[in-house]
Amino acid sequence: MVFDRDGKSIAVLEDLNLDVSDGEFICVVGPSGCGKSTLLNLMGGFLSPTRGAITIDGEAVHGPDPRRILVFQERGVFPWLTVEGNIGFGLSRLSRTERGQRIAHYVQMMRLQGFEHTYPSDLSGGMKQRLQVARALAVNPDILYLDEPFGALDSVTRHLMRGELLRIWQAERRTIIFVTHDIDEAVQLADRVVVLSSRPARIEDVLAIDIPHPRSMSAPRYLELRDQLLNKIGLAYTV
Amino acid sequence: MNSLAKPAEWEKLFWPLLAAALLLALWHYSVVWTATKVFPSPLSVEKGLVQLIQKHVLWADIGDSLRRVALGFGLAAVVGIPLGLTLGWYPALNQVVNPVIQILRPISPIAWIPVAIIFFGVGDRPAVFLIFLSAFFPILVACVSGVANVPAIFRRAGRNFGLSRTQILARVVFPAALPQILIGLRIALGVAWLVVVAAEMIAVDSGLGYLVIDSRNSGKRYDLVVAAMLVIGLIGLTLDLGFRWLEKIRSVRWGFRHES
């Protein structure tokens, strides 16, 4: 992927090959500005690659599609709609009763009961992110792209949100590609962690996290993998 | 007094009333001490106001002024909002039209008076035209920048959920820009209320602007002039408060909070 800015070409992603299987939880880490978000935008169809291709189930990605939803770091929910309105945003093709059921299902799953008619400005940061995930899940996507979804939350809320996300992933088994800065987040969540190098980003390494859920943050294997990842990121930062 | 402490309920009413009373007193005694024969005291203005109400001309004049503002402002909104949304939606088109808008915008509607009379003669129509002009530009500019300022993240979410371009405009861009559009409408209504008075001093023989100029011309009744001015102020305030009340509607209130 090459960007043209002010007449200069900037190579952001280069020679990047990654296969993701159905239902897999992938975390992408790497130095800031390396192109993690660009990668998500390419996979989401918001950008077209300069060279190469993104294929999903053998089908090339051309443009955004409700089958794969991108969740933003913050301010992704629509402030002019209530919780119900946000969750139902992508459901206008459904009948009224179906839509109501779908909304009720995700209100419950995201523990937003009692806030159905609340506007986002009256929700906490964690609730807004839960709402954004609920809005994404409601259209029944195959893939969720999460761009540092918990990056703007405080550490306790972030920790709780990871638990919620794992619970939902285990219940609904969507493919999740999750961009983060946070090493612990990656080790807690992912089946595999993809480490990107600095720009132009290549895949520095792919680390399989072979610990079953729920993962203990003090287990020896957890700490071992965490250190490995830290070392690799350290390498990536110095490259 | 602690400036952080909330004022008591009675204080919220008491201090503004006291300020108003002091101002009235200053006005009254200035008239008394200078022994002016021309400028009216608050008491004679009050008598003038009662007279206007009893003669029933006041209600007709208020009605005429409000009707002209409603027509001119309504027309400006009907033309300005769709045009502003379109220009905001197509920045390339906006670049072409914007210089013309920026040249026309700072021209006071008052300067258009001769042109308005050539186009529309005398009567309601030139007045409505002037009000339309004065309200049109604030509405247009608010819509253009309202649409341009919609965060890209909202449009991307709209595209992600499979919305067509028209659906994105209707379901994402318009509601996202609505708070700014409302601000534009409120400014436009304020300007329209200023301009109706000026417009009624030239082309028509009714309305509050006409009442002001007619009270002066027919017998230098400055008590009636000032009474009419006060009525103009009060109605302007009411219109503005009405619009502020619109801003409290839940689906736009998010846009008027100062804290994020």
Inter-chain residue contact A64 with B160, CB threshold 8 Å: yes
Task: Answer yes or no: is A34 within a domain.
Answer: yes
Is A234 or B92 the better-scoring residue by pLDDT? Answer: B92
Inter-chain residue contact B157 with A66, CB threshold 8 Å: no
Scan for tokens 């949100």, then name that residue: A161
Select the residue of A90, A119, A120 nearest B161 (Cβ to Cβ).
A90
Inter-chain residue contact B159 with A64, CB threshold 8 Å: yes
- Do A157 and A227 lie in one domain? The reply is yes
The pLDDT tens digits of the residues spanning A78-113 come to 999 999 999 999 998 889 999 999 999 999 888 899
The pLDDT tens digits of the residues spanning A131-143 come to 999 999 999 999 9
The pLDDT tens digits of the residues spanning B214-245 come to 888 887 888 889 999 999 999 999 999 998 88
Inter-chain residue contact B251 with A81, CB threshold 8 Å: yes
Q: Which two tokens stand for residue A175?
A: 């493919």
Residue in chain B lying closest to A69 (CA): B160
Distance separating alpha carbons of residues B215 and B229, to the nearest angstrom: 11
Q: pLDDT > 90: what percent of chain A? A: 37
Mutation to test the B interface, candidates A42, A47, A80, A139, most B Cβ within 10 Å:
A80
Mean pLDDT of B1-9: 67
Task: Answer yes or no: is A73 within a domain.
Answer: no
* pLDDT score, position B56: 73
- Do A99 and A178 lie in one domain? The reply is no
Distance separating alpha carbons of residues B189 and B138, to the nearest angstrom: 9
Q: Is the omega angle on the peptide bond into residue A214 within 30 degrees of 0, that is, cis? A: yes
The pLDDT tens digits of the residues spanning B140-184 come to 999 999 999 999 999 999 999 999 999 999 999 999 999 999 999
CA distances B75 to A170, B134, B140, Å, are: 57, 11, 12
Inter-chain residue contact A80 with B162, CB threshold 8 Å: no
Residue in chain B lying closest to A117 (CA): B250
Inter-chain residue contact A89 with B161, CB threshold 8 Å: yes
pLDDT band for position A235 (cuts 50, 70, 90): low
Task: Answer yes or no: is A30 within a domain.
Answer: yes
Mean pLDDT of B238-257: 85
- CATH number assigned to the domain comprising residue A180: 3.40.50.300
**For residue B250, which residues of chain A lie inside 8 Å, CB to CB?**
119
The pLDDT tens digits of the residues spanning A197-215 come to 887 888 888 889 888 888 8
Task: Classify residue B32 by burial, with Cβ atoms within 10 Å: 0-12, 13-18, 19+.
Answer: exposed
Interacting residues of A177 by C-beta distance below 8 A, sequence separation 6+: A20, A26, A28, A40, A43, A143, A144, A145, A146
- The Cα of B181 is separated from the nearest Cα of chain A by a number of Å equal to 14
Residue B79: pLDDT above 90?
yes
Task: Answer yes or no: is A74 within a domain.
Answer: no
- Do A186 and A116 lie in one domain? The reply is no
**For residue A72, which residues of chain B lie inside 8 Å, CB to CB?**
153, 157
Mutation to test the A interface, candidates B161, B180, B256, B260, most A Cβ within 10 Å:
B161
Q: Among residues A87, A122, A139, which one ends one of the domains?
A: A139
Mean pLDDT of B38-45: 88
Inter-chain residue contact A121 with B254, CB threshold 8 Å: yes
Coil, helix or strand for B207? Answer: coil
Report yes or no: A195 and A233 within 8 Å, Cβ to Cβ: yes
Inter-chain residue contact B161 with A69, CB threshold 8 Å: yes
pLDDT band for position A178 (cuts 50, 70, 90): very high
Inter-chain residue contact A46 with B159, CB threshold 8 Å: yes
Distance separating alpha carbons of residues B229 and B67, to the nearest angstrom: 18
Task: Answer yes or no: is A7 within a domain.
Answer: no
* pLDDT score, position A7: 67
ipTM: 0.86
**Range(s) of the domain holding residue A90:** 79-139
* pLDDT score, position B260: 39
Task: Answer yes or no: is A231 within a domain.
Answer: yes
Residue in chain A lying closest to B152 (CA): A76
Residue B186: pLDDT above 70?
yes
As a whole number of Å, the CA-based R_g of chain B is 23
A-side interface with B, Cβ within 8 Å? 44, 46, 63-66, 69-70, 72, 75-76, 78-81, 89-90, 119-121, 139
Is A153 or B131 the better-scoring residue by pLDDT? Answer: B131
**For residue B175, which residues of chain A lie inside 8 Å, CB to CB?**
78, 80-81
Coil, helix or strand for A59? Answer: strand
- Do A54 and A127 lie in one domain? The reply is no
Tell me which DSSP letter residue B172 carries: I
- Do A218 and A155 lie in one domain? The reply is yes
Scan for tokens 């077209």, then name that residue: A48
E strand or H helix at B239, and its extent? helix B222-246
- Do A184 and A238 lie in one domain? The reply is yes
- Do A100 and A161 lie in one domain? The reply is no
Q: Among residues A118, A139, A160, which one ends one of the domains?
A: A139
Q: State the first-to-last Cα distance of chain B, in angstroms, to the nearest integer.
A: 30
- Do A233 and A161 lie in one domain? The reply is yes
- The Cα of B168 is separated from the nearest Cα of chain A by a number of Å equal to 11
The pLDDT tens digits of the residues spanning A7-61 come to 677 777 888 888 888 999 999 998 877 888 888 999 999 988 888 888 888 888 8
Residue A233: pLDDT above 90?
no
Of A152-156, B19-23, B178-182, B194-198, the least confident? A152-156
Select the residue of A65, A80, A90 nearest B254 (Cβ to Cβ).
A80
Of B99-108, B182-191, B214-223, the least confident? B214-223
- Do A127 and A147 lie in one domain? The reply is no
* pLDDT score, position B259: 41
Inter-chain residue contact B161 with A66, CB threshold 8 Å: yes
The pLDDT mean for chain A works out to 87
Distance separating alpha carbons of residues A217 and A221, to the nearest angstrom: 9
How many structural domains does chain A have?
2
Q: Among residues A93, A110, A139, which one ends one of the domains?
A: A139
Distance separating alpha carbons of residues A2 and A188, to the nearest angstrom: 32
- The Cα of B212 is separated from the nearest Cα of chain A by a number of Å equal to 44
Task: Answer yes or no: is A4 within a domain.
Answer: no
Residue A239: pLDDT above 70?
no
- Do A234 and A149 lie in one domain? The reply is yes
Select the residue of A65, A66, A76 nearest B153 (Cβ to Cβ).
A76
Task: Answer yes or no: is A193 within a domain.
Answer: yes
Distance separating alpha carbons of residues B259 and B198, to the nearest angstrom: 39
CA max distance for chain A: 56
Distance separating alpha carbons of residues A199 and B78, to the nearest angstrom: 51
E strand or H helix at B31, and its extent? helix B9-34
**For residue A81, which residues of chain B lie inside 8 Å, CB to CB?**
175, 251
- Do A215 and A236 lie in one domain? The reply is yes
- Do A189 and A238 lie in one domain? The reply is yes
Mutation to test the A interface, candidates B154, B155, B160, most A Cβ within 10 Å:
B160
**For residue A78, which residues of chain B lie inside 8 Å, CB to CB?**
154, 157, 172, 175-176
Mean pLDDT of A159-164: 88
Report yes or no: B57 and B218 within 8 Å, Cβ to Cβ: no
Mean pLDDT of B179-200: 93
